[in-house]
Amino acid sequence: MMRYNGLRGALALMILAIACGGGNTVSEPKPVPSPISSAEPTPLPSPEPTPASCPPLQEWGVKIHLVMDSGFNPTNVIAEGGHVVLDSTPRFQVGGPNGQPCNGEHPENCGGRECEDPRGGVWKKLKGDSEWKIELPGPDSGFQVHVGSEGGLKPGQHEFQVCPRPDITDGEGQPVQVLAGACDTVGFWVN
């Protein structure tokens, strides 16, 4: 053990304590004052009023939303015994040639008005031997179809069509104009 005597020893211990992070004083960072602004805040623009009606329905689009195997596990292969979920989205005559959805997921497209009929579209099986079930909300119309609902998918060509309801209304119960050719079709092959 080293022994320090006198002033040299005290000085050596003090240097050692400071070098190792010791010491009697702890300095805390001084707060930086924030700049004070005397400018008035810029007011937000007034929101646009919700439109009185919806734009015309351009297309009730449909696509394959999900493919599952016989154990209901997601897969990329449509196969016998598996399942396919079809999903539909109404597209209104706004935002370009393909139209845009005007629903709760996309309130900006039609000025905040929910133009999608909450009852969904009318589905029709054109080809295929698999059982199918309309969902969301169902049972006679909806936004999704589960193909292979009973016993899984059967081999062969399958084709489904979705159309707007003949009495289509928006989320507020007001009638919606439908353009010609608004139905859509999707097909797939089951091996």
In the chain the beta strands, taken as DSSP E runs, fall at: 57-68, 83-92, 122-127, 132-137, 142-147, 156-163, 184-190
* Furthest C-alpha separation in the chain: 104
Helix (H, G, I), strand (E, B) or coil at 184: strand
Instruction: Classify 190 as helix, strand or coil.
Output: strand
3.30.70, 2.60.40, 3.40.1350, 1.10.4100: CATH of 57-190: 2.60.40
pLDDT digits (tens, 9 = 90+) for 87-126: 999 999 998 888 999 988 888 899 989 999 999 999 999 9
Q: What residue has token string 């939303």?
A: 65
Q: Which residues of the chain have pLDDT under 70?
A: 1-39, 44-47
Give me the amino acid identity at 97. P
Residue 2 confidence (pLDDT): 45
- What pTM value is reported for the model? 0.73
